[in-house]
Amino acid sequence: MEHRSLGNTGLSVSILGYGASPLGGVFASIDEREGIRAVHTALDAGINYIDVAPYYGLTRAETVLGQALSGIPRERYFLATKVGRYGENLFDFSPQRIERSIDESLTRLGVEYVDLLQCHDIEFTDLRYIIETTLPALQRLRERGKFRFIGITGLPLKIFQQVLARSEADTILSYCRYTLADSSLADLAPTLAERGIGIINASPLAMGLLSLRGAPAWHPADAAVKNACRKAAELCAARGYPIEKLAVQFAIRNRAIHTTLVGTASPAHIANNIQWASEPIDEELLAEVLALLEPIHNRTWIQGRTENN
């Protein structure tokens, strides 16, 4: 599998990363043994970047992932987790809580360190606190050797611009903002590249929008976006080319995106994603789908504090 440098971190990461949130039963009930097999399938096929968080399944994803990684040489993978978000509406980015959080995560994961520690969904809190208190605390904690690099994550692109204008981070994780329907992350990529900041793209299927099954009932996208994405999925199905395949291929073809996370607790599904990454994209179908989605292109939704959107 192709690898790219994650900004200035020195980490050479696979263009597909494993997003471990499904291991927490976030989207559906899972067979933990199948989830563990999915992790092993990913690693055996060359995926070397794994992303998780204590929020996913309220610590269950980290626990299951720790079981999956048990006995696997630590040098085979780069591991990222997060701090700050611990429930649907439970956020705590204080230095005291993040220090406890990293120790708790290391215990669940069964490792001595993670490669990347990220502030999780910072749009839900006061960005001044992140800039003035949380990130400086992480810089100090890094000296203890429990994590190597620092990142920030969230949905609104505005948060990355505001935080990075006044502080330092090694990576950003953006989700649903580099997809067939919304590629606005590409506008920010040159600025990030100039600063050597790694770019992690999550949810290339836009949380289920770009799937034949369609968006779940809770999805925050408006009706126009959902309808357009459904039509795009139906077009791909009629051509015998899953929109999920097209979406993954579209995301990884942009070299400014260093890794794209695909999340599943199914060995078969992760194997499909890996196979798709090795195949050429159907350029004609891609052009048709992008044209169909043009009326709703880059339309997103509000998440977190109003001032952070």
In order of start, what are the domains of the chain with their CATH numbers? 3-308 (3.20.20.100)
Contact 179, 203 (CB under 8 A): yes
Average model confidence (pLDDT) for the chain?
A: 97
Helix and strand element counts for the chain (H, E)? 11, 12
Residues shown for the chain? 309
Residue with the two structure tokens 């399938």: 41
Per-residue pLDDT, 28: 81
- Render pLDDT for 141-150 as a digit per residue (tens, 0 to 9): 999 999 999 9
Q: Quick: pLDDT tens for 217-241.
A: 899 999 999 999 999 999 999 999 9
Q: Once rounded to an integer, what is the mean pLDDT over residues 11-23?
A: 98
Token couple for 31: 């067979």
Tally Cβ neighbours within 10 Å of residue 123. 22
The per-residue pLDDT for 292 is 98
The pLDDT value recorded for residue 274 is: 98
Predicted confidence at residue 24, as pLDDT, reads 96
Give, for 97, the enclosing helix (H) or strand (E): helix 95-109
- Beta-carbon contacts of 245 under 8 Å, excluding residues fewer than 6 positions away, are 236, 272, 276, 279
- What is the per-residue pLDDT across 271-281, written as a single tens digit (0 to 9) for each? 999 999 999 99
User: pLDDT category, 26, cuts 50, 70, 90?
Assistant: confident
Amino acid identity, position 204: P
Q: Report the alpha-carbon distance of residue 263 to residue 121 in Å, rounded.
A: 18
Element (H, E) at 13: strand 12-14
If phi over 0 gives left and psi between -120 and 50 gives alpha, with beta otherwise, what is residue 214?
left
DSSP element (H, E) containing 63? helix 60-69
Task: Give catalytic residue positions.
Answer: 56
Report the pLDDT averaged over residues 207-224.
94
Give pLDDT tens digits for 239-261: 999 999 999 999 999 999 999 99
- Report the pLDDT averaged over residues 121-125: 98
Give the model confidence (pLDDT) of 55-111 as tens digits.
999 999 999 999 999 999 999 999 999 999 999 999 999 999 999 999 999 999 999
Question: How large is the average pLDDT for residues 113-129?
Answer: 98
Predicted confidence at residue 135, as pLDDT, reads 98
